[in-house]
């Protein structure tokens, strides 16, 4: 007796008629359709030739559980008694099979219920956990323990492009160290799932040809990869591995899909909670920075404090803030400044560079190195396209190994795969600056970093704007007070020399320079004469006092007379002869000396030469700083010019009055004289008197 359908009997898809009928012999097919033994022998059959092949259906309430076909090849065919006996056996077998199927179904349903209960318990556990790291560890541990998977991995997206993910896994050896997964270098099921955002099940890796066997973990036979989605937002991937084949049936896959949905929701909630916590913490920290504003805190000091705060939230080797200079080079004193200036920079004491050698790098050295690079200092955007992308898009920028260099990494000599994150500082939809952080290791910044940087940049922008407004208001009040003091000091002076000495003595201290010299314009001779100075050494003072400034001799003075605006002393405005004679100890390409006009009502009355060489100001200082100093200098020079003009006017009026009195006395003395000789003698005597 041959049972040719033993596999079908134990298959839950036995009732699939298409499958059943395609595998039946004609005799068995007839038995299936007629629900009786084929051929059907009657008890009174007189046939001599008994059938040697019969098909017996296994029935339970007219439901076919299977079919038995019996062949008798070496004996006479089946008799009626044989068939009766076989029919009784078939009935008993049908009952046994039905019981077995019911038991299997019951066990399957119970297993299904247990799995659903486990999914519910895991979901409740992770959905109530708002600590993302704890949540991920709990999820992979519970899946590994409750479902017996050989390995469980959860991959969380870093950034918005799905190219780099953070991988957290567990196996029989315990929780594995966190790894970085690169989507573009993988051709396995995980990469397929990320590309298509659909689940994929491999129930026997040796029977599939879609992926190379090398893409699977050792000793694993089956694998299920599910996307973690929250609506249209891609969160990551759930990767389940088993050492047994056919571990993932269609119905169980639906259970794991439900679990994946809950894991995605839990991770999303934890991300939102962490982002909100970071926003609050960042807000509190920056509120402390803004609250510490005082007359002693400059904008540069505030920017350094902001860098100090952001470094507490991110991995970093160096950080910097570039601020926007809105003033063009045609205004102010006319010096060239770039659109973006390096306003603040910090660097760790030890940093790893291109050669993996750890070395020290002073912050001031980095600042100087950046400033000395003409391309960096004057054209940040054209030199570093990565910065340009942030400026144009006004969004957070992440740097990876394929990105262009940015300024900090370039100047520090980092390898090409180093990490960087840049955040635009925006006020009223206007870009006011950029915060830049770098780290020598790759993949240090992710999607969470983007959220944190965005929150930090928002609060930092407000803080910087408040500081700038506070600084402007404070500076304006200070300038007004200083100019009032200058006006009061100059108005009480009645002697021109005393006035010039007073202005020369006050000016260096007001604007933070070491030396200055005042020149007066003599209209009758059309030349400038040095009249007062402060801060120059004796040798330099002697050279300046001996400087002959006559019409057309000094380009700087001629240019100042024509433009009525400040002029920088350099090789374009000072001849080589004058430079060697008057300024032998200066390098006019680096040392900064500026000639400011003294003007009242568009009338030139003199000039002030200010030496900025040893001050905190130089050609690379920001336009904003220069404008502040220029406003103060312009106010002082205007007050000085008015006072000089008033004293010169008083002196002129006194001289005119003296001449008038003298002429009146002469007229009175000679009015009664008739002789010319007498008139001349008396006039001479009056003039001598």
* Weakest mean pLDDT among 1-10, 33-42, 488-497: 1-10
Q: Are 320 and 408 in contact (CB under 8 A)?
A: yes
Per the domain annotation, does 213 fall within a domain? yes
Adjacent-strand bridge partners of 201: 224
Burial class (CB in 10 A: 0-12, 13-18, 19+), 446: buried
Domain finish residue from 275, 302, 326? 275
- Would residue 248 count as lying in a domain? yes
**Interval 257-275: pLDDT, tens:** 888 888 889 888 888 888 7
Kindly state whether residues 355 and 461 are assigned to the same domain. Answer: yes
Looking at residue 355, its pLDDT comes to: 47
Q: How large a percentage of the chain has pLDDT more than 70?
A: 76
Structure confidence at residue 541 as a pLDDT band (50, 70, 90): very high
Three-class SS of residue 157? strand
Q: What is the pLDDT of residues 413-444, one digit of tens each?
A: 888 889 899 999 998 888 888 999 999 888 88
Q: 102 and 146: one domain? A: no
245 and 349 inside one domain: no
pTM: 0.54
Domain coverage including residue 538: 493-650
- Mean pLDDT of all residues belonging to the chain: 77
Determine, yes or no, domain membership for 620: yes
597 and 558 together in one domain:
yes
Phi, psi of 53 (to 5 degrees): -135, 130
Using DSSP's 3-state secondary structure scheme, residue 584 falls into coil
Q: Are residues 144 and 53 in the same domain?
A: no
Residues 500 and 601 in one domain: yes
622 with 559, same domain?
Answer: yes
| Residue where one domain finishes, among candidates 470, 503, 519 | 470
Are residues 533 and 515 in contact, defined by beta-carbon separation less than 8 angstroms? yes
Name, of 107-121, 188-202, 369-383, the range with top average pLDDT: 188-202
Q: Say yes or no: 324 and 436 in one domain.
A: yes
Q: pLDDT tens digits, residue range 323-376?
A: 886 544 444 444 434 467 788 888 887 655 544 444 444 455 555 555 444 444
CATH of the domain at 178: 3.30.450.40
How do 63-71 and 53-60 pair as beta strands?
antiparallel
Ranked by mean pLDDT, which of 78-92, 102-116, 545-559 comes out on top? 545-559
Q: What token pair was written down for 666?
A: 């002469």
Q: Which tens digit of pLDDT belongs to each residue from 492-539?
A: 677 778 888 888 888 888 888 889 999 988 888 888 999 899 999 999
Last residue of a domain, one of 242, 275, 308: 275
Counting residues of the chain whose pLDDT is more than 90, the rounded percentage is 12
The verdict on 147 and 256 lying in the same domain is yes
User: Considering only CA atoms, which of 597, 630, 624, 599 is closest in space to residue 612?
Assistant: 630
Count of C-beta atoms within a 10 Å radius of residue 589: 8
User: Do 55 and 181 have their domain in common?
Assistant: no
Cα 522 from Cα 528, distance rounded (Å):
6
In this structure, are 319 and 243 located in the same domain?
no
Q: What is the pLDDT of residue 358?
A: 43
- 510 versus 238: the higher-pLDDT residue is 238
463 plus 523 within the same structural domain: no
C-alpha to C-alpha distance for 13 and 689, rounded to whole angstroms: 142
Q: How many domains does the chain have?
A: 4
**Per-residue pLDDT averaged across 37-53, rounded?**
57
pLDDT at 675: 64
Start-end of H helices in 59-188 = 80-127, 132-147
How many other C-beta atoms lie within 10 A of the C-beta of residue 606?
22
Residue 145: pLDDT over 50: yes
Q: Which of 16 and 577 is assigned the larger pLDDT?
A: 577
């Amino acid at each position: 007796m041959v049972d040719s359908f033993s596999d079908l009997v134990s298959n839950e898809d036995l009732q699939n008629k298409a499958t059943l009928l395609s595998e039946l012999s004609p005799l068995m097919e007839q038995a299936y359709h007629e629900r009786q033994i084929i051929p059907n022998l009657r008890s009174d059959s007189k046939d001599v030739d008994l059938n040697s092949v019969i098909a017996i259906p296994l029935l339970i309430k007219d439901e076919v559980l299977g079919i038995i076909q019996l062949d008798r090849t070496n004996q006479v065919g089946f008799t009626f008694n044989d068939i009766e006996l076989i029919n009784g056996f078939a009935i008993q077998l049908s009952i046994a099979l039905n019981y077995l199927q019911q038991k299997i179904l019951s066990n399957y349903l119970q297993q299904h219920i247990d799995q659903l209960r486990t999914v519910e318990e895991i979901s409740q556990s992770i959905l109530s956990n708002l600590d993302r790291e704890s949540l991920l560890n709990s999820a992979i541990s519970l899946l590994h323990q409750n479902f017996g998977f050989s390995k469980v991995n959860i991959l969380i997206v870093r950034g918005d492009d799905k190219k780099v993910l953070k991988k957290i896994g567990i196996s029989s050896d315990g929780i594995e160290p966190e790894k970085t997964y690169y989507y573009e270098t993988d051709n396995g099921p995980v990469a397929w799932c990320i590309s298509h955002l659909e689940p994929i099940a491999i129930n026997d890796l040796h029977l599939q040809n879609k992926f190379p066997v090398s893409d699977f973990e050792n000793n694993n036979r089956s694998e299920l990869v599910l996307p973690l989605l929250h609506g249209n937002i891609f969160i990551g991937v759930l990767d389940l591995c088993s050492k047994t084949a056919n571990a993932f049936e269609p119905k169980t896959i639906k259970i794991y899909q439900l679990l994946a949905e809950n894991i995605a929701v839990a991770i999303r909630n934890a991300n939102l909670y962490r982002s909100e916590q970071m926003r609050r913490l960042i807000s509190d920290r920056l509120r402390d920075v803004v609250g510490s504003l005082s007359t002693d805190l400059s904008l540069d000091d505030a920017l350094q404090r902001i860098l100090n705060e952001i470094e507490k939230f991110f991995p970093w080797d160096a950080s910097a803030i570039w601020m926007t200079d809105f003033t063009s080079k045609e205004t102010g004193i006319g010096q060239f400044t770039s659109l973006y200036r390096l306003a603040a920079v910090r660097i760790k004491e030890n940093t790893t560079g291109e050669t993996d050698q750890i070395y020290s790098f002073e912050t001031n050295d980095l600042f100087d190195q950046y400033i000395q690079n003409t391309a960096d200092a004057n054209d940040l955007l054209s030199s570093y396209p990565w910065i340009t992308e942030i400026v144009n898009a006004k969004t957070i920028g992440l740097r990876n190994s394929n990105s262009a260099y940015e300024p900090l990494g370039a100047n520090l000599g980092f390898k090409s795969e180093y990490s960087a994150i840049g955040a635009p500082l925006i006020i009223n939809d206007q870009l006011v600056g950029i915060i830049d952080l770098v780290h020598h290791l790759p993949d240090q910044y992710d999607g969470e970093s983007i959220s944190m940087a965005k929150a930090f940049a928002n609060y930092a922008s407000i803080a910087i704007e408040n500081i700038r407004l506070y600084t402007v208001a404070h500076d304006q009040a200070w300038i007004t007070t200083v100019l009032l003091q200058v006006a009061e000091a100059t108005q009480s002076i009645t002697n021109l020399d005393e006035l010039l000495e007073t202005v020369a003595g006050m000016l260096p201290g007001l604007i933070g320079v070491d030396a200055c010299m005042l020149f007066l314009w003599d209209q009758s001779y059309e030349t400038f004469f040095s009249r007062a100075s402060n801060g120059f050494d004796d040798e330099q003072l002697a050279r300046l006092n001996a400087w002959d400034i006559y019409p057309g001799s000094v380009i700087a003075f001629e240019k100042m007379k024509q433009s009525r605006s400040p002029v920088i002393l350099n090789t374009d405005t000072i001849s080589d002869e004058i430079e060697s004679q008057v300024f032998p100890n200066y390098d006019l390409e680096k040392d900064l000396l500026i000639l400011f006009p003294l003007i009242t009502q568009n009338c030139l009355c003199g000039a002030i030469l200010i030496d900025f060489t040893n001050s905190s100001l130089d050609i690379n200082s920001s336009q904003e700083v220069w404008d502040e100093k220029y406003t103060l200098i312009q106010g002082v020079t205007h007050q000085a010019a008015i006072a000089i003009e008033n004293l010169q006017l008083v002196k002129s009026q006194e001289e005119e009055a003296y001449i008038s009195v003298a002429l009146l006395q002469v007229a009175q003395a000679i009015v009664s004289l008739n002789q010319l000789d007498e008139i001349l003698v008396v006039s001479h005597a009056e003039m001598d008197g």
